[in-house]
A and B are shown apart, each in its own frame.
Chain A
Amino acid sequence: MNLFEDLFSNPAITKALPEAIGETLLMVGISGVFTVLIGLPLGIFLYTSAPGGLRPLPVTNRIVSDIVVNITRSIPFAILMISLIPLARIITGTSIGALAATVSLTIGTVPFFARLVETALRDISSGKIDAALVMGSTRMQIVRKVLVPEALPGLVAALTTTMVTLVGYSAMAGLTGGGGLGQLAYNYGYQRFNTTVMIVTIVLIVILVQAIQWIGDAVARRVDHRTAATAGSKKSRRHEPATVVGV
């Protein structure tokens, strides 16, 4: 079969593909927003409640850190996804489709992002926090005016890595009826041996990941004022999208 002809005649590509792209973007977009909304405060909490932090809460920190973050990260996403189907049904009213998949995607990536946020915050020199404390800043003012702005290049890099991971997870979500490019590749490429569909989805996923990485790096450079001439390029904070393959 001619690959080129197939590209434009195969209904899996002409009809199902645009829809799948839309579903993937929807899943990644919604989960991304919720991951930031939940993961950023969680990461800040992990950092500030650590022993020697702004507001040390050793016991709570240990519990949140060990149980929630590590256990969630220890469970392979494929298993987590299946186990969260009942929760998805409670929240979204359905267990299949892109919207239902965002529940497990969000829960799967929040701990990952929170850890990256915590690491980015640890890069801030303690002297800056001391300076802000001596000014008479409240803890909230330190979070808003020191921690987040000073760690912004690192936070953008963390978000980039998380979004790339989300693309990978969303492909996996397709296997359990989440829709999107993953499901397209599985249904047509794997079950029907349709190589064209398989190749097209792979190319699209690679392009999507590259676009996220490229935009993320560009934004990180823009918000980085730490070095005068080579803003942001001094330390390569880019995390390789190794996680895209998934668990």
Chain B
Amino acid sequence: MLAAADQDPVPNQPRIHVITVSDLRKVYRQGNREIVALDGVSLEVPKGSIHGIVGHSGAGKSTLVRCLTLLDSPTSGSVSINGAELSAARDADLRSARRRIGMIFQHANLMDSRTTAQNVAHPLEIVNTSKDAISTKVNELLKLVGLEGFENAYPSQLSGGQRQRVGIARALASDPDVLLCDEPTSALDPKTTEEILVLIKDLTKRLQLTVLIITHEMHVVKRVCDSVSLLAAGRIVEHGPLREVAANLGSELSRTLLPLPSAEPLGTGVVLEILFSGDTASEPVLTAAARRFNLDLNVLAGSVETLAGTQFGHLRIQLPAGTDAGPVVEYLHSQGVSVRTAGKDAA
């Protein structure tokens, strides 16, 4: 299978990979049956970037998160963070390697018996940081996540979004290189989701973090990710920089990143799916084609979106009945537009 490493998005530029996962496998035994949760996952995330891992439930996302932090030990394969091999580490080494990872969870997983300040101080306490140093660091972190004044509140007195902010502050307490986010916004409402995503994106820049976000929500990927992998049945089936995967017409990721409403075709004309990206998106290629072939095009569905700074237009159009699609498809191709006839890939 393809690994992210095989297709370096920027081949000319040497990149430092902070997270490297190679050929990770996890097999569970359930009675006599073997359940393959991860089937050779490889992944590399360059420094300073945000990588999203999406997949349906049961695809292996949770197993992947647990294997990345060695909460579950992988059956085979390796995980390394900044060159330090996690999968081979034991006890003390594993503990210090884990301190290079900050992790946030879907339900924040704060300690109910600790106040906001005490929760953020927790990772510092376990390495015997001095009281003064803890208090300075905690204040700094609470300011960073916008929770000044909530030092003495218990988690039960905070909203879901505030709890997640405490979780983020706690994750950052040990100055990690990597922020691992397991469904960070899945339990939050849309407005709070947006706030948390903005915060994650901002912190990534300010603290030079490398971020891995595991989610089932496509808008999280659209909003913050630089690159994305699609996990299905324990394998990464599609991956790449957001711009590239979105431009790959017909792929699952492209379809979910640029969804089209379903619309029944009218009559018997050929239905084409068209994807413009970047510059072509703003040029009237479609109008030009209509004029050139003297066609009445019927637009069935369409969406235009900007992903990772590139504008994408995704259209479903229908040619008049009896029109030969061949020359039209050829012409659109020559104009740098991806085209496929509905159902099979014409690009």
Contacts and interface: CB of A to CB of B under 8 A. Distances in A.
Interface of A: 125, 127-128, 130-138, 141, 145-146, 149-150, 152, 223, 225-228, 231
Given A131-B103, A134-B69, A226 B112 contact: yes
A149 B118 CA distance: 12
B114 interface: yes
Given A146-B111, A225-B112, A132 B122 contact: yes
Contacts of B180: 134
Those 5 A-B pairs whose CB atoms lie nearest each other, nearest first: A127-B109, A136-B95, A131-B109, A149-B113, A135-B123
A135 B111 contact: no
A127 B105 contact: yes
Nearest to A226: B112
B35 interface: no
A225 B113 contact: yes
B174 A149 contact: no
A237 to B, nearest CB: 14
B21 to A, nearest CB: 16
A6 to B, nearest CB: 51
Contact of B105 (A131, A135, A146): A131
Contacts of B98: 133-136
A138 B109 CA distance: 18
7 contacts: A131-B170, A135-B122, A136-B96, A141-B126, A145-B111, A146-B111, A228-B157
Nearest to A133: B71
B174 A136 contact: yes
B101 A134 contact: yes
Contacts of A226: 112, 156
B329 to A, nearest CB: 51
B278 to A, nearest CB: 40
B154 interface: yes
Contact of A149 (B71, B99, B109, B114): B114
Nearest to A223: B113
B107 interface: yes
Interface string B170-205: 100010000010000000000000000000000000
A135 B114 CA distance: 16
A134 B113 contact: no
Contact of A134 (B71, B107, B157): B71
